[in-house]
Amino acid sequence: MTTTNRAFVVVTTTHDDEAKARTLAADVVRARLAACAQVYPIRSVYWWEGEVQEGAEWRIDFKTRAALAGPLARFVEEEHEYDTPEVVGVPVVTGSAAYLDWVNAETADR
């Protein structure tokens, strides 16, 4: 059964190094700021330092409670090597009740 619930978000960041992306993902989950993180390769095109840049990156999607989005964003910003890391949160509009219960249970109260 699915449920409509905006108490959860997916927070996304990227990294240019797979090992560092995996380490950041594990550190966030270990800190209980997210129940899980998915790391996968992407290709990014973006404006930086006055011109279009393109490069391989590793996207990290963190599944967490909306109440933890702020602390998770601060953690990522403190630990990330980018000058301006992407930190974007998108609300979960609907999802499996059992999965959302799991996300709730596996994240720490702050």
Q: How far apart are CA 78 and CA 80, in angstroms?
A: 6
Give residue 30's domain range. 2-105
pLDDT at 77: 95
- Is there a domain that residue 110 lies in? no
Is the model's pLDDT at 13 over the cut of 80? yes
Q: How far apart are alpha carbons 57 and 21 in whole angstroms?
A: 9
- Provide the whole-model pTM: 0.90
User: What whole-number percentage of the chain has pLDDT above 90?
Assistant: 85
User: What is the domain count for the chain?
Assistant: 1
> Which pLDDT tens digit goes with each residue over 43-53?
999 998 999 99
> Residue 21 belongs to what H/E stretch?
helix 18-30
For residue 38, the SS3 value is: strand
- Distances 74 to 1, 29, 34, 68 between C-alpha atoms, Å: 33, 14, 13, 10
**Which CATH number do you get for residue 64?**
3.30.70.120
